Amino acid sequence: MADVATAPNANQQVPLDTIPISPTEASADSNEKSSSEPNAAEGGLRTVFHDPENFNVKHPLMNTWTLWFTKPPSGKGDNWAELLKEVISFDSVEEFWGIYNNITPTSDLALKSDYHLFKKGVRPEWEDSQNKHGGKWAYQFKDKKAINIDALWLHVMLAAIGENLEDEEDNEVMGVVVNVRKGFYRIGLWTRTVGRAIQGDQGKARTTEQGKEALLKIGNRLKQSLQLRENEAVEFSGHTDAAHAGSTRAKAKFTV
């Protein structure tokens, strides 16, 4: 698991085109000091924490992530593929903050909008080959005025890109999603499986019981990120079950 530090100023706009991939060789040669030293910001390696406007080095993430957006249907027979739009991919802490600080807050989105943050190469669709055997942990916030959805969604995204929702060998988390609806907000976490045994083709081999334990652990970590009370249950259902039920509200397979 990795820690993803917060931006020095959450309101600071960080234009993506000003973020270089790595420091130049000239800068590296001219300053042999570690970027963690006090004087590092004076001349060689400057991180966003030294200077939020003129930094020249990024903190890489363990995975590349892609932000997707589902726009509200027009009522003219739109299909899912037409509504789902890929926004941008990123692989560093600085790029994440640059994106986050320049997109519409969840609380300001139109009804029936969604944000999806998934590992690159995975589409936020049940039919995707990496999702079709999986499922989703989810919780609905029915009193929209009683919560800060922007803060909660941010916490979940940071937990996801910081690899804090699962252990490395679990290889389960595909992405996270927030749904904006008239009567509720819903935050979900998609997994690769529904807790099945693995023979070693994806991560370490495990039994069905170990698969279930991994899912329950992930569910509990999501619950912590959502700052829920003990009596507020996060539910897990398989994508196949949801498809057969004709709804995203299929009968829960697990709860935590």
pLDDT tens column, 16-45? 444 443 333 333 333 333 344 444 444 577
> Strand pairing of 254-255 and 135-141?
unpaired
Query: When comparing pLDDT for 194 and 33, which is higher?
Result: 194
Name the 3-class secondary structure at 88: strand
d(CA 140, CA 177): 12
What single DSSP character describes residue 20? -
- CA 90 to chain CA centroid, nearest Å: 12
Q: Could you say which DSSP state residue 86 is in?
A: E
What's the pLDDT at 132?
93
Q: Is the per-residue pLDDT at 180 higher than 80?
A: yes
Question: Which pLDDT score is estimated for 124?
Answer: 97
Mean pLDDT of the chain: 82
pLDDT higher at 169 or 66 = 66
pLDDT score, position 241: 79
Read off φ and ψ for residue 67, nearest 5 degrees: -95, 130
Q: What is the pTM of this model?
A: 0.80
What would the pLDDT profile of 76-109 be if each residue is shown by its tens digit? Answer: 777 777 899 999 999 999 899 989 999 999 999 9
What Cα–Cα distance (Å) separates residue 182 from each residue in 107, 179, 233? 12, 10, 21
Angle between helices 149-161 and 93-100 (to 10 degrees): 160
Identify the DSSP state of 158: H
Residue 184's pLDDT band, with cuts at 50, 70 and 90, is very high
pLDDT for residue 251 is more than 80: no
Tokens 């001349």 identify what position? 43
pLDDT of residue 202: 54
Query: Which ranges constitute the DSSP H helices of 31-113?
Result: 80-83, 93-100
Q: Where are the domains of the chain?
A: 64-255
Token digits for 175? 């992405």
pLDDT band at 2 (very low <50, low <70, confident <90, very high): low
End-to-end CA distance of the chain: 22
> Is residue 8 pLDDT above 50, yes or no?
no
Architecture of 64-255 per CATH? Answer: 2-Layer Sandwich (3.30)
What's the whole-number mean pLDDT along residues 201-219? Answer: 86
Which value, to the nearest 10 degrees, does the dihedral of the CA atoms of residues 152, 147, 9, 101 take? 70
Other C-beta atoms lying within 10 Å of the C-beta of residue 2:
13
Strand partners, 177: 116, 188
Averaging pLDDT over each range in 73-82, 104-113, 241-250, which range is the top one?
104-113
